[in-house]
């Protein structure tokens, strides 16, 4: 059974500082068991990040969208697993008002960090909570999952202006905040990749070898789970380098990125 001490050891031994900003995606089942489950994982990381911030993605894109354009920060249930469902409604967290790609922040200046997310006009624009992990030199932990769950990479697509990533046809959503006020979103662009029937994130694992080569990702274990420790700045700079050299879309099918793009 994984304890708080084990979680602290994982973070400390892999270069995570107590003042870092860290986002986590996790398959809790893959670990083989964490004391107190999802709450135990959150408690362990938050207690280590004494001067930092933990961001748990609490996305609702499956429920909130063109057909149901309404997000309630206190009630809309995340669609991305147990960790998200627990994090979204913890009283010590502050959930953002992003209608489709909210995050719940825990720690120092959490409310300030997620402020203004209701103004986002796409899933992860520059200035959003996920995108700012670049400026903050943040980290992404993938526990028992791979880059197909690395939502930060959507913000890289938007930062770099990679084409064919957002739907041109927009719509407006209603956002209900913590005080019950209803706010209208700006005209919103959803994810969309015309060249593939799958979400582009399913092909983010194509970047894996490049990330390893550039040192953007290292690996550890938490219980039975493989953990990716991802550096947001290095991932962003690696993807930028790949796309500067690419002659086609790198994430519309499963294929290795040519080594000459990153070596």
Are 110 and 170 within 8 A, CB to CB?
no
Q: How far, in Å, CA of 256 to CA of 246, rounded?
A: 12
Q: How many CB atoms lie within 10 A of CB 248?
A: 8
Question: pLDDT tens, position by position, for the chain (263 residues)?
Answer: 999 999 999 999 999 999 999 999 999 999 999 999 999 999 999 999 999 999 999 999 999 999 999 999 999 999 999 999 999 999 999 999 999 999 999 999 999 999 999 999 999 999 999 999 999 999 999 999 999 999 999 999 999 999 999 999 999 999 999 999 999 999 999 998 888 888 999 999 999 999 999 999 999 999 999 999 999 999 999 999 999 999 999 999 999 999 999 99
Q: How far, in Å, CA of 222 to CA of 25, rounded?
A: 13
- Give the closest residue to 104 by CA, choosing from 91, 92, 93, 120: 93
Q: Which residues of 175-199 are buried (b: 16+ CB within 10 A; e: fewer)?
A: bbeeeeeeeebeebbebebeeeeee
Q: Is 260 exposed, middle or buried (0-12, 13-18, 19+ CB in 10 A)?
A: exposed
Number of independent structural domains in the chain: 1
Identify the sign of the CA torsion 72, 76, 80, 82.
Answer: positive
Backbone angles phi, psi at 220, to 5 degrees: -150, -175
* Statement: the pTM of the whole predicted model exceeds 0.85: yes
Outline where 34-130 has alpha helix (H): 37-48, 82-88, 110-114
Are 73 and 173 within 8 A, CB to CB?
no
Q: How far, in Å, CA of 172 to CA of 127, rounded?
A: 20
Expressed as residue numbers, the domain containing 40 is 4-261
Kindly report, residue by residue over 153-185, the tens digit of the pLDDT: 999 999 999 999 999 999 999 999 999 999 999
Kindly report, residue by residue over 186-217, the tens digit of the pLDDT: 999 999 888 888 899 999 999 999 999 999 99
């Amino acid at each position: 059974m994984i304890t708080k001490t084990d979680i602290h050891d994982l973070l400390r031994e892999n270069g995570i500082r107590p003042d870092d900003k860290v986002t986590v995606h996790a398959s809790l089942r893959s670990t083989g068991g964490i004391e107190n489950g999802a709450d135990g994982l959150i408690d362990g990381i938050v207690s280590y990040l004494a001067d930092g911030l933990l961001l748990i993605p609490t996305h609702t894109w499956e429920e909130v969208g063109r057909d149901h354009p309404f997000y309630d920060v206190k009630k809309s249930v995340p669609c991305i697993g147990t960790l998200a469902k627990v994090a979204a409604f913890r009283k010590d967290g502050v959930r953002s008002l992003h209608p489709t790609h909210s995050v719940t922040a825990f720690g120092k200046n959490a409310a300030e960090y997620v402020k203004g997310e209701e103004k986002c006009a796409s899933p992860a624009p520059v200035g959003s909570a996920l995108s700012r992990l670049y400026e903050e030199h943040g980290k992404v932990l993938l526990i028992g999952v791979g880059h197909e769950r690395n939502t930060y990479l959507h913000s890289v697509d938007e930062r770099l202006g990679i084409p064919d990533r957002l739907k041109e046809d927009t719509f407006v959503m209603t956002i209900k905040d913590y005080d019950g006020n209803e706010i209208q979103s700006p005209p919103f662009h959803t994810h969309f990749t015309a060249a593939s029937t799958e979400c582009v994130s399913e092909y983010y694992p194509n970047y894996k070898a490049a990330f390893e080569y550039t040192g953007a990702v290292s690996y550890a274990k938490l219980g039975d789970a493989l953990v990716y420790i991802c550096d947001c700045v290095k991932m962003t700079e690696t993807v930028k380098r790949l796309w500067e050299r690419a002659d086609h879309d790198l994430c519309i099918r499963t294929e290795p990125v040519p080594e000459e793009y990153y070596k």
